[in-house]
Amino acid sequence: MPLCESWYPRIAALLYEPSQTPAPPAEVVIEFKHFDDPRVGGFTQNARIQLNSVDALLPQVLPFEAVVIHELTHVVQGVQVGPQWLYEGIADYVAYTHFLHTNQPFLRLDAKGRLHGYDNSNPFLYSLQEKKIAPNGAYAERHIPAGKGYRHGYTVTAAFLYWLEQNKRPEIVRELNTAMKTRQYHPMLWKKLAGASLDALWKQFLKVSASY
């Protein structure tokens, strides 16, 4: 798949630090498999990616190529020790910031603190808006404690990471990824890298977002 041949090395260059061992796998296997749930784009284990072959993948909210980039990122990430939301957020950060260029360093919030203002021409946050996810934590389908909306992972976390990179520390995504890969992730890391606790940084991010 030409997309993979050109993007796998680019993703490795973004996230991999040569001092790490081992390096990302030299080969990646991609298979198509039928997942009954059309919201599942794919699944990755080690260097094996399974992409959902179901026709019903909703292209306006889950663009196929972005799914491929997301899963390729998981291959580069490898086995990591750290929060799942961050692992998934980094994969969406790569797909939507560097590949599709639709990530933005803020969430657009309405007066009730819900995502607002995205139509399906912007797939990045549209699905979250439609699910009425509130980034302060409230979410009908899943319990996330108030003030810890970054735990939504995926696109919400991707926007947060982009904001951190732009405003706090340019290398933060690579550094967080390395910390998880080398089993050195620790909640105190946020203060060291970005100058404040994770919850405090999230609060700043929402405050900035509310002005858009």
Footprint of Zn ion on this chain (CB under 5 A)?
Answer: 88, 91
Q: Tell the smallest beta-carbon distance from residue 198 to Zn ion (Å).
A: 20
**Cβ-based nearer residue to Zn ion, 91 or 94:** 91
Give the pairing type, strands 29-33 and 48-52.
Answer: parallel
Burial code (b: 16+ CB inside 10 Å, e: under 16) for 119-129 equals eeeebbbbbbb
**Cβ-based nearer residue to Zn ion, 91 or 194:** 91
Hey, is 92 helix, strand or coil? Answer: helix
**Cβ-based nearer residue to Zn ion, 69 or 206:** 69
The reply to whether omega before 59 is within 30° of 0 (cis) is no
Q: Tell the smallest beta-carbon distance from residue 42 to Zn ion (Å).
A: 8
**Cβ-based nearer residue to Zn ion, 62 or 206:** 62
Q: Tell the smallest beta-carbon distance from residue 1 to Zn ion (Å).
A: 18
DSSP labels, 134-183: -TTS--TTS---TT-GGGG-HHHHHHHHHHHHHHT-TTHHHHHHHHHHTT
Q: Tell the smallest beta-carbon distance from residue 134 to Zn ion (Å).
A: 22
Give the C-alpha separation, 64 to 50, whole Å: 13
Q: Tell the smallest beta-carbon distance from residue 153 to Zn ion (Å).
A: 8
Hey, is 126 helix, strand or coil? Answer: helix
**Cβ-based nearer residue to Zn ion, 102 or 136:** 102
Cβ atoms within 10 Å, residue 146: 9
**Cβ-based nearer residue to Zn ion, 40 or 210:** 40
Q: Tell the smallest beta-carbon distance from residue 203 to Zn ion (Å).
A: 26
